[in-house]
Amino acid sequence: MSQPEAYKGFNAFKVDWPHPGVLRLWIDTGHPNNAVTHENHSEFGDIWKAVAAEEDARAVLVRGVEGVLCGGGDMTFLPPLVDSHETRTAVHRDIRALVMNMIDCPKPIVSAIDGVCSGAGLAVGIMADVSVAAASATLWDAHVLYGLACGDHAAMAWPLKMGMAKAKYHLLTATALNGEEAERNGLVSLCVADTELQQAAMDVAVKLASLPPEAVSFTKQSLNGWFRLGQPIFEQSAALEALGFAGDTVRELVESQDD
């Protein structure tokens, strides 16, 4: 797949135009489970600025490859964070950029969620304006298992989407949801059969692209006011997550990997 000039600097994303007005982003990190590394983490925030500048894009579809949207950080992600304040600061900056740049992007974003979706991939999937999940998808915010605050979108977005009681249950206990459960609880917009996922997500993107773009963009901007009201919650949770990277639980996990 040839890469348009504006996206030459992105290694974790491929870009094409499957339909007039529809820009498709393929998350393709080249790592098992479409994983995030320190080399590509910043791309998950920076990509939305490039998308925002696309004059011909009336809708954006983000999908994964080989049945996985994005499984979050790989096994190499935690060790550099333990002793490096500079690395923790960079990751904190990336977390903020991912969430806030998706909120600021004027284009409507549709996500196609499949496989085990966690970490940055889960943030992309849930912060999309319309999220379509495969029935067998696993949506899992496992931050607390690693001794970390749920800081990369969930503390802000999940209570708005599914209510405080459900959000606290799934985030505090690190209990995953499949696609059907995520739709039933309001975490995603739609759930479809696995074989129908990509076409269903494309249909939504094509429909959005067919509508008056300014009306769609302004409506998105207005609805995202709810996220902006919750931004102080996001800022605190992101900072507390970054603080946790230097904590004992993360250090013990890293040391156990070395044994």
Tens-digit pLDDT profile for residues 190-235: 999 999 999 999 999 999 999 999 999 999 999 999 999 999 999 9
User: Domain span at residue 160?
Assistant: 5-198+205-258
Give me the number of domains the chain comprises. 1
pLDDT at position 6:
80
Torsions phi, psi of 132, nearest 5?
-115, 125
Residue 139 near residue 70 (C-beta atoms within 8 A) = no
Residue 129: CA count within 13 A, CB half-sphere: 26
pLDDT of 82 above 80: yes
- pTM, 2 dp: 0.95
Give the model's pLDDT for residue 5: 76
Q: Provide the mean pLDDT of the chain.
A: 96
110 within 8 A of 59, measured Cβ to Cβ:
yes
What does the pLDDT read at residue 259?
64
Is the pLDDT confidence value at 2 over 60? no
Q: Are strands 13-19 and 22-27 parallel, antiparallel or unpaired?
A: antiparallel
What's residue 3's pLDDT? 67
**What is the structure's pLDDT at 236?**
98
The token pair that represents 147 in the structure block? 């001794």
Residues above pLDDT 70, as percent of the chain: 98
Task: Specify the pLDDT at position 67.
Answer: 97
Q: What is the pLDDT of residue 4?
A: 75
Q: Who contacts 202 (Cβ-Cβ below 8 Å, separation ≥6)?
A: 18, 19, 22, 61
Q: In the structure, what pLDDT confidence band is assigned to residue 189 with cuts at 50, 70 and 90?
A: very high
Tens-digit pLDDT profile for residues 234-251: 999 999 999 999 999 999
**Domain CATH code at residue 251:** 3.90.226.10
- pLDDT tens track for 124-165: 999 999 999 999 999 999 999 999 999 999 999 999 999 999
Residue 1 has pLDDT above 60, yes or no: no
pLDDT tier at 74, thresholds 50, 70, 90: confident
